[in-house]
Amino acid sequence: MDYRIGKDGYEVVGEDGKRINPYPISSRSKAKAYIRAKQEGKDTREFMTLPKFKKNWKLQLKKMSWQDILKKKKPKSARSRAVERAKAKGLRTVNDPQALRDDPEKSHHVMAFENKKGKYMKFGEKGVKTNQTAGQRKAFKSRHAKNIKRGKMSAAYWADKVKWSPSKTKEKKNKKWRKGS
């Protein structure tokens, strides 16, 4: 018994040159182990695996050698790329706003992720007293209503969520608008 590279993976062939294994084997070491197991009379079903390919795997086999396909890494998803970018910017993960210490103008930053798209943004004016009264909060929400409705991909949405939430209002009953909002 010996092995060779066939059209769809490694094949184990007998003395007569005919293929013995019913399914292709994904690596040379598995082909050798299959031969050993076959000679010892053990179960050989565990060796019959193919690596997972995209829809056009037959086309890939024609363009690339089998060894190249086995070495090829799976492409990263949009979310994992966004998480990597967030970590590079000093964030824990996506859609998790944090205070920004190094920026002289903005107070917070976030890596927003929605519909397979990531966007890094800074928001909130640094040093301004926000959310002092219910009236001030109402004025902010009416002024930025259109941008807040845009969702996670707008800075106004995150400012509304982080800096202008009702739980953070200092004077909840005071309906007066205070200058500086």
What DSSP letter does each residue of 97-159 carry, written as one string? -EE-SS-SSEEEEEEEEETTEEEEEEEEETT-----BHHHHHHHHHHTHHHHHT-TTSHHHHH
Residue 171's SS3 state is strand
CA distance 146 to 181: 17
pTM of the model: 0.56
Percentage with pLDDT > 90 across the chain: 27
Query: Per residue in 77-120, pLDDT tens?
Result: 889 999 999 999 899 999 999 998 888 999 999 999 999 999 99
Least reliable range by pLDDT among 23-32, 127-136, 149-158 = 23-32
